[in-house]
Amino acid sequence: MTTDRQPIASGLWSDEDNPHLLAGQASDGKIFFPIPEGESGKGLEVIKLSRKGVLWSFTRQDFRPKPPYDGPEDFTPFLLGYIELPGEIIVESHIVDATLEELEIGMAMEFVITAFDDKRATFAFKPERK
């Protein structure tokens, strides 16, 4: 799923046909996502994260998050999960193209860019369909 909307924040994913989430890697190998701003981000090497991972944990968000939530006025429940990118990091992400009943811990997931609202895009993961 791709979109021509502006990213919800700069520097989250690469600008290419098959984008990747971008992370910062310290000289000791520790990976940070999103890349910290300011002094915390200095000295980090920007790396591309894997586009595929496995579902580590998940839930459904049935209520509008507390401020400073910056989402559409009409709240719609959504799926949220932690995706383990093996050998890299565990990323918190929206989950799209699935129902709660379809999700299983350990299932294969893949990175996508999806609409956040009428003007902005965000990243998400969806079940990998074979």
**Residue 1 counted as domain residue:** no
Q: What is the pLDDT of residue 72?
A: 65
CA atoms of 81 and 95, how far apart (whole Å): 6
Q: What is the pLDDT of residue 74?
A: 75
pLDDT means per 10 residues, the chain with 130 residues, are 76 92 95 92 95 97 77 81 96 96 97 90 92
Q: What is the pLDDT of residue 3?
A: 57
Task: Give the chain's domain count.
Answer: 1
**Residue 64 counted as domain residue:** yes
46 forms beta bridges with 24
The residue written with tokens 């609202």 in the block is 117
Region class of 29: left (phi > 0), else alpha (psi between -120 and 50), else beta = left
Q: Which domain holds residue 91?
A: 6-127
CA atoms of 94 and 111, how far apart (whole Å): 10
Task: Write out 64-117 in H/E/C secondary structure.
Answer: CCCCCCCCCCCCCCEEEEEEEECCCEEEEEEECCCCHHHCCCCCEEEEEEEECC
